[in-house]
Amino acid sequence: MSVFLNKRAKGKLRIEKPSQKPFLFHQKLPEYKITPLISLKSLAKNLKIGNIWVKDESNRLGLPAFKILGASWAVYRNIEEKFNIHSENNENFPEFIKKIKKIPSITLITATDGNHGRAVARIAKLYSWNAKIFMPEGSKEARINAILSEGAQVIIVKGDYDLAVQEAAKLESKLNWVIQDTAYENYEKIPKWIIEGYSTLCWEIDNQLSHSKIDLIFIQIGVGSLASAIIKFYKHENYNESPKILGIEPLGVACAKESVKAGKIVTINGPYNSIMAGLNCGTISKISWPLILAGIDGFIEVSNDFAIKGMKTFSNDGIISGETGASGLGGLLELTEQDNGKLFRHQFNLNENSNVLIFSTEGATDPDFYNNEIKKSNIFEKKYLKSC
């Protein structure tokens, strides 16, 4: 496995400056705390890389994935726009909720492969609203049940994630808000706000690393909204020393890489063999496409075996990470296994002083699968089961 290098990638981009407003909003939400940034010291030493930093999103605002950062901000921005109600600087969240009680009840609707849908359902619960979540055929029971546990209705479509997106889109109306994390024809505003919401990850990391230099970032790509947030932050023309960014996609579901190769958005139809549910998207988001084309320096297709290797390696360091969450580390492991990673090291100028950043974007969102793979791992039993 090697990196597909994107010859059209640029070092810096002339784009809108990321705002701190979502970060300030998130800090008001119940259960907000900064998520850990962990240094994988022994792995870095073994791989002869200065530092491998991991942003651990296994508990974000009480949910086991980063996705609620986007959903919460997009719904808030829609409330502002539709009802002219704001969360004022000097106001806490319960005060904001009181104002929300005065508007008609809304139903939030989206498609999901698990994490985004649960996040939307949690936001609906927070405002005492309803949620309708569309999921692809073959979605894991654990992920369906997690969404049902938020009080949402789940609809399984007879097809893949792209079909779920289309079905959800049909329900948009005045009091039925479609909160999808992917943009398509005439649907861009909400996904743009979702991308803005994800920038909280970067503001936190900037504080945690005291602005020290990052050389290379591994970022998972499903529809590309998360990657867009990373690109917008780190490749902004005002950012000090922009890192290189590698996009992680599952083997056989590399719709971003194939789009870059073709020079236009390409769809990869399901069914897919990948266990990385969060990345099993056939088409990248319309608004992410120009950012990915200009901002992702290379692409890696990660195999299921290496996603599992990533999970196990994380668990050795006490990080609980599901199949999608660990695919970034899986990609690094896959690249360094081959020819001792010589080519990869050379391509990205990596050495014992380099700082690499990886995102563990979820916890064990399919606990049975996780448990089976990690086998009797003490970490799972002690840490994860306690927090369920």
Ligand X SMILES: Cc1ncc(COP(=O)(O)O)c(C=O)c1O
Q: How far is the CB of 52 from ligand X (least distance, A)?
A: 18
By the 10 Å C-beta count (0-12 exposed, 13-18 middle, 19+ buried), 158 is classed as exposed
Residues within window 192-251 making contact with ligand X, judged by CB under 6 A: 220-227
Residue among 242 and 288 whose Cβ is closer to ligand X:
288
What are the angstrom distances between the C-alpha of 217 and each of 114, 125, 297, 298, 358? 24, 34, 10, 11, 6
Size, binding site for ligand X by CB under 6 A: 21
Residue among 55 and 132 whose Cβ is closer to ligand X:
55
Exposure pattern of 50-72 as b/e (b: 16+ CB <10 Å)?
A: ebbbbbbbbbbbebbbbbbbbbb
Residue among 136 and 325 whose Cβ is closer to ligand X:
325
Give rounded-to-5 percent helix, strand, coil for the chain: 45, 15, 40
Q: How far is the CB of 224 from ligand X (least distance, A)?
A: 5
Examine residue 147 and tell whether it contacts ligand X (CB under 6 A).
no
Examine residue 361 and tell whether it contacts ligand X (CB under 6 A).
yes
Examine residue 18 and tell whether it contacts ligand X (CB under 6 A).
no
Q: Of 7, 41, 56, 113, which one is the catalytic site residue?
A: 113
Q: How far is the CB of 264 from ligand X (least distance, A)?
A: 19
Q: How far apart are CA 207 and CA 367, in angstroms?
A: 32
Residue among 89 and 388 whose Cβ is closer to ligand X:
388
C-alpha closest to that of 243 among 220, 214, 210: 214
Q: What is the DSSP letter of 380?
A: I
232 as an active site residue: the answer is no
Q: Of 55, 56, 67, 232, which one is the catalytic site residue?
A: 67
What are φ and ψ of residue 180, in 5° steps? Answer: -95, 150
140 as an active site residue: the answer is no
Q: How far apart are CA 271 and CA 280, in angstroms?
A: 9
Q: How far is the CB of 160 from ligand X (least distance, A)?
A: 14
Instruction: State the binding string over 91-120 for ligand X (x if CB under 6 A, else -).
Output: ----------------------x-xx----
Residues within window 304-333 making contact with ligand X, judged by CB under 6 A: 324-325
Q: How far is the CB of 267 from ligand X (least distance, A)?
A: 15
Residue among 65 and 74 whose Cβ is closer to ligand X:
65
Check the CA dihedral 382-204-133-96 and report its sign: positive
Q: How far is the CB of 268 from ligand X (least distance, A)?
A: 14
Residues tagged active-site: 67, 113
Using CB under 6 A as the criterion, which residues of the chain lie in contact with ligand X when the complex forms?
65, 67, 113, 115-116, 181, 220-227, 278-279, 281, 324-325, 361-362
